[in-house]
Structure formats: C-alpha cells, structure tokens
A and B are shown apart, each in its own frame.
Chain A
C-alpha cells in the first residue's frame, strides 16, 4: 500500500471550513483514497473515499488532484464535534481485500 503524509495537527474555527491535506505521491492506479476519523475513545469512523474524481457526501467533500498524488478532505462547516484524529489511507478498493494501514493522522481541533 502507498504511504501517506499528513500534518500532525490543525486548528479550525467553529463554522468555518476545515481543509485537511494528504500527500500520497506513490499511489498506484488501482488504489483508492480513504478518509476515516477517530473521535476520542471511539472506534474509527468512515468518512469518504475516492479514486480520481472529486466526491461529496453528507459528511464531507474529497478533492483529489489530477495526478492523484495528493488530496484534501473538506469539512464545509466544522463543529466542535468534528474534533478528532483524521486518517488519510490509500488502499485497493472495490471488492478486494481492503486492508487499511493507518498512519499517525492529523489531529483536528475545532475551537469556538
């Protein structure tokens, strides 16, 4: 699986957009970009995933660069409950194995 690089920590004001970057320069053609988050003391929670097109769901948007070497997770209106560790993971998707290799992630702190 390709390795990802994320900033250690970020801050965001409540109500503003949180933009979390991720570099994955060694991503392969059949690997997807997944985002999970882990709120303190809970199990990780799936947010969104994508292959090469931008994606949006009820939780967030995922912007993937054209060369697929980096991506940005966007939480459009961050709330205090979005304070968590955010993990960017690259993995083969579809009906394959789906092994998730977690890095250290980005600690996002949303403040009032």
Chain B
C-alpha cells in the first residue's frame, strides 16, 4: 500500500481565499484523523471520522474550517476564508480501528497564507 496520500504537499494562498486539502487514507482503514502542526501549538487533532462519519470535531478552530468524508477513500479539509494564522502543516492519518492500534500519517500539506 502507498500509505496515506495527501495533496497538495505545499500550498501558498492569499488571505481570504478558499483552500482545500485532500487526503486518501490507507485502503481498508475505517478511521481518519486531521491534525494541524504549528511551532506554537504543536500537533493538534482537528477532527476524527469513523466509517466516514464525523465523531469528534471539537478541535476544529472555528466555522471557517470544515471537513468532509464522502466515501471511505477520500476526505477534504476546507478553510474558507483563509487567514495568515492558518499557516501550518496539516496532517491526515488513518487507522484500522477494528484490528490495529496504530495510526498511519501522511506526509502533510504545508499551508502558507500570505
């Protein structure tokens, strides 16, 4: 398996623009997580899906952030409108909750909002 695939790897956008980050989890995994990493706050969980259903979105910073998982092989994290303070590395992770304890992380998307 190719692992968790995120796109794009780097994104530079202007303040106010909409940004969409994409994630393809490992085939067969039924849990998906979005994390954000900054120097100031470290790694933070934003949202957790189980079987494509959002279970815990308490980490989503505000209404400008939204996440969807239309099917088991695809998820998006959208920021609209983007702000400079959203600049961070965003990681997607997936897990086979039925059989394995570990989460597998993608390579991340480095977002810069100018």
Contact = CB atoms under 8 A, between A and B. Distances in A.
B42 A49 contact: no
B42 A99 contact: no
A38 to B, nearest CB: 8
Interface of A: 32, 34, 41-46, 49, 87, 93-95, 97-104
B105 A45 contact: yes
Contact of B103 (A32, A42, A100, A104): A100
B107 A43 contact: yes
Q: How large is the interface on B (under 10, 10 to 19, 20 to 34, 35 or more residues)?
A: 20 to 34
Between A42, A98, A102, the greatest number of chain B beta carbons within 10 A of the residue's beta carbon is seen for A98
Interface string B94-114: 010110011111111000000
Contact of A44 (B43, B44, B48): B43
Nearest to B110: A41
B56 interface: yes
B88 interface: no
Contacts of B56: 97, 99
Between A42, A100, A102, the greatest number of chain B beta carbons within 10 A of the residue's beta carbon is seen for A100
